[in-house]
């Protein structure tokens, strides 16, 4: 089974944009608009956030992305995510970045692996913001530390 996120509603989009703006003001980082270099078309977002739930690995800073499906498989998510990691480690001085997704989301897991993140099955967790029994509740966690960033192509 492949994972395909549903589009956001207009209200969800407005709420997300508001949270993104607040994050930049409060933390100095957030989710950046991802644009195609050749055309300037906005194709999604890539950036950093702080999860709004408690888990064994929180508090932490998470790297995440959401691109339009028409732009999947072109190397854009790993390219943008690598730049975000460089910013997180060099400019912000963060020691570690995490990323998580549904265990079914093979495309995001592949991006995490391409940018050098490491998966340990002991870190798997049930996402607390999803209801018991929800098919997306089982999540995997990937990590990358500042000293290992760039060690894996």
In a domain, 36, yes or no: yes
Q: How many domains does the chain have?
A: 1
153 within a domain of the structure (yes/no)? no
Q: Note the pLDDT tens digit of each residue in 97-148.
A: 999 999 999 999 999 999 999 999 999 999 999 999 999 999 999 999 998 8
Indicate which CATH number applies to the domain containing 88. 3.40.630.30
Residue 55 lies in a domain: yes
The reply to whether 121 falls in a domain is yes
Q: Is there a domain that residue 103 lies in?
A: yes
Buried b (16+ CB within 10 A) or exposed e, 98-127: bbbbbebbebbbebbebbbbeeeeebeeeb
User: Per-residue pLDDT tens for 41-82?
Assistant: 889 899 999 998 999 999 999 999 999 999 999 999 999 999
**Residue 1 maps to a domain:** no
Is 3 within the bounds of a domain? Answer: no
Q: Which domain holds residue 43?
A: 10-148
């Amino acid at each position: 089974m492949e994972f395909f996120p549903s589009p956001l509603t207009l209200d969800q989009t407005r709420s997300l944009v508001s949270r993104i703006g607040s994050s930049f003001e409060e933390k100095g980082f957030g989710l950046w608009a991802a644009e195609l270099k050749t055309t300037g078309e906005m194709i999604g977002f890539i950036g950093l956030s702080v999860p709004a739930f408690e888990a064994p690995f929180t508090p932490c800073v998470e790297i995440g992305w959401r691109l339009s499906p028409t732009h999947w498989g072109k190397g854009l998510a790993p390219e943008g995510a690598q730049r975000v990691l460089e910013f997180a480690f060099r400019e912000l001085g963060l020691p570690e970045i995490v990323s998580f997704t549904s265990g079914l989301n093979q495309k995001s897991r592949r991006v995490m692996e391409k940018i050098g993140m490491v998966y340990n099955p002991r870190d798997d967790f049930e996402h607390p913001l999803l209801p018991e029994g929800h098919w997306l509740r089982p999540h995997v966690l990937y990590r990358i530390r500042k000293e290992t960033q760039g060690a894996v192509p």
